[in-house]
Amino acid sequence: MSTLVVALLSFFGFIAAYHTYGKWLARRVFGLDKNALVPSRELRDDVDYIPTKKQVIFGHHFTSIAGTGPIVGPAIAVFWGWLPALLWVVFGSIFIGAVHDFGALVVSLRNRGQTLGEVAGRMINKRAKILFLLILFFALTIVLAIFGLVIAIIFANYPETVLSVWIEIPLAVAIGFWVYKKGGGLLFPSLAALAIMYGCIYIGAYHFQIDISVWFGIPLVGKTLLNAVVVWSMVLFVYCFIASVLPVWTLLQPRDYINSHELILALGLLVLGLVVAGVTGKADLATSAPAINQEAPADAPPIWPFLFITIACGACSGFHCLVSSGTSSKQVASEVDAQYVAYGAMLLEGALAVIVIIACCAGVGMGKFSRDKLDGGGYAYQPKTVDGKQLTGRAAWLSLYANPMTVMKDGKEVTVGGWNSFKLTDQIGGFIEGGANFISVLGIPLKLSIGIVAVLVASFAATTLDTATRLQRYVIQELAIQFNFKPLENKYAATGLAILLGGAVALTPGALGPGSGGLILWPLFGATNQLLAGLAFLVICFYLIRRNLPVWFAAIPMFIMLIMPAWAMLYNMKSWMSPKPNFLLLAFGLVIMSLQVWIVVEGLLTLKTARGNYPELEPLPALAGGGTVEEG
């Protein structure tokens, strides 16, 4: 019953926050106006700027911000116990993450859809704009490398997901054409697309798996030049190039809209399964995992400050400001939709993170399974047993989060378990298996349940990847304008550079061979992401100060999101210097920290003249688009 109580209290908190704190921000602080001219109408070009129904833009925004971050982060953070992770997710989402996303969207809406990097140039100074853009450039390079790698790992290890994820592309193109060119409705096509996707999950689980390791004899990982992860990474980056240069209505919007339905249905199944498992006593959070892990091993970093960077997207994420000010602000049709789109989507992501925490504790405690490859292709799932009994409860949780122990292997003593033994595939697999255990109590077979949750993870990551590519293109084009480098002002050249850099990092050879190098940058992801959130709050604070608006609600989170990740970055840099220097991590860390300090100094120098001094936008030479504006 503790499982159900924790979940319900968390969900109730999110709903109450939306209708109280969120409404206060929308009405009393930002003063959202339904009659205000928004960028999607003022600059409509039907490529990047297009007024969109709030349900559609919510789907794009939610699926773009909720990548694998709110899954992997909480799945790792429960290592310290489920209670600290839960508290940071719930209160962080309400008072920090949702405020960050909402503020970034409103500031961009009132600055012609400019990214926060561009806005920083007017709110702080021109140097701040360039510094902010450089930070965005490095952050997005890491995002592209890691998210591309995550999806490739899922496709390679869970081939039953491939058909369902890729079938979305023709479905999205067809829906985009139907709605925007033929004026058709959304309800029937979206329901049909949802049915086709779930049909493909069934086919992938039982009848047809696109497993390139079987089809072409390519190993999953290894020292060979090509392996399954490398091949899928290359395919994904080619797709991202195409998706990010097309008009948003042709693929990005409809795909995210389809995905939002698939994701919400999958989350609904998870919640329903959680309720049934909690009521029947099959899932027990209290006995499956410690509320606070008092026996964290010595090799683990301290919970302060690492909890706040390990869980990024589930509580607060700097990447979200890029979505709010990079794509969503160019599509919102009315200012009053901003609370629904940004504040609401972040709270839903917080709810997802809560589900992940419970799945990785109570769900995993329902039973662990081994994934056995069949000779004729496909997979079977067998219960993991110890002394003839299935691995369940605290023992199942410890199989993922065990303290370091010394065992004999091939006649040698080997240390296993602990923080340094964590693998990305294991943590993702923990959520997939734990979530599948919840769904299976509804009478859905375990194999199909695993397919549903694996597609959920892959779909989240895929929507974030193509959105991040488009955002990186904007950043590169803006930097090219600042440095007067004409070739990269072209969207195709800028997108090509974004793909090449992200792909090069993702495909760098690592410990597991080609395609595992992106994992080298994983320790940087959380700290860089959260530093970016602190800088986004800095820009939001300057907007509020210059408008003579209350600033405390953004200033407090700003200090938290500047101090915690900087503390963690410095701790990491010390460990990267010995015993064997990691020059790649050190270089990225030093550059990002230096840029952050510089932009904060620029802000302090500007602060004394900022109060009430708002720099207005220059008038447009002519309205973009022309003619009447019809809502998409």
Query: Residue 20's domain is classified under what CATH number?
Result: 1.20.1740
Give the mean model confidence (pLDDT) for residues 329-353.
95
pLDDT tops 70 at residue 613: yes
Choice among 165-174, 212-221, 252-261, 481-490 with the minimum mean pLDDT:
212-221
pLDDT per residue as tens digits for the range 60-95: 898 888 877 788 889 888 889 999 999 999 999 999
C-alpha distance from residue 610 to each of 146, 541, 596, 597, 600 (Å) = 38, 11, 20, 20, 14
C-alpha distance from residue 440 to each of 112, 274, 497, 501 (Å) = 48, 10, 44, 41
Instruction: Give me the half-sphere count of Cα atoms (radius 13 Å) on the Cβ side of residue 42.
Output: 19
pLDDT tops 70 at residue 299: no
What pLDDT does 529 receive?
A: 86
Is 632 a member of any domain?
Answer: no
In the beta sheet, which residues pair with residue 85? none
In the beta sheet, which residues pair with residue 332? 52
pLDDT tops 70 at residue 222: no
Q: For the chain, what is the domain count?
A: 1
Average pLDDT over all residues of the chain: 84
Give the mean model confidence (pLDDT) for residues 473-489.
90
Q: Looking only at Cα atoms, what is the longest distance across the chain? A: 78
Domain that holds residue 209: 2-31+54-288+306-375+422-607
Give the mean model confidence (pLDDT) for residues 148-152.
79
Q: Strands 385-386, 389-390: parallel, antiparallel or unpaired by DSSP?
A: antiparallel
What pLDDT does 623 receive?
A: 46
Cα–Cα dist 115/120, whole Å: 9
Is 629 a member of any domain?
Answer: no
Cα–Cα dist 86/91, whole Å: 9
pLDDT tops 50 at residue 341: yes
pLDDT tops 60 at residue 448: yes
Is 485 a member of any domain?
Answer: yes
pLDDT tops 80 at residue 575: no
Phi, psi of 577 (to 5 degrees): -90, -15
Is 441 a member of any domain?
Answer: yes
Write the burial class of residue 412 (CB in 10 Å: 0-12 exposed, 13-18 middle, 19+ buried): exposed
Q: Which residue has the higher pLDDT, 186 or 102?
A: 102
pLDDT per residue as tens digits for the range 497-519: 999 988 887 776 655 555 555 55
What pLDDT does 585 receive?
A: 77
Cα–Cα dist 138/210, whole Å: 34
Q: Which residue has the higher pLDDT, 223 or 307?
A: 307
**613-616 contacts at long range (C-beta below 8 A, 24 or more positions apart):** 613/546, 614/546, 614/547, 615/122, 615/123, 615/546
Is 386 a member of any domain?
Answer: no
Is 393 a member of any domain?
Answer: no
Cα–Cα dist 319/82, whole Å: 25
Handedness of CA 534, 535, 540, 543 (dihedral sign): positive
Is 232 a member of any domain?
Answer: yes
Percent of the chain with pLDDT over 70: 88
Is 161 a member of any domain?
Answer: yes
pLDDT per residue as tens digits for the range 588-607: 788 888 988 999 999 999 99
Non-local (6+) Cβ contacts of 92 within 8 A are: 308, 311, 314, 315, 316, 350
Give the mean model confidence (pLDDT) for residues 156-168.
86
Contact 67, 461 (CB under 8 A): yes
The label of the residue with tokens 């301290």 reads 302
What pLDDT does 298 receive?
A: 63
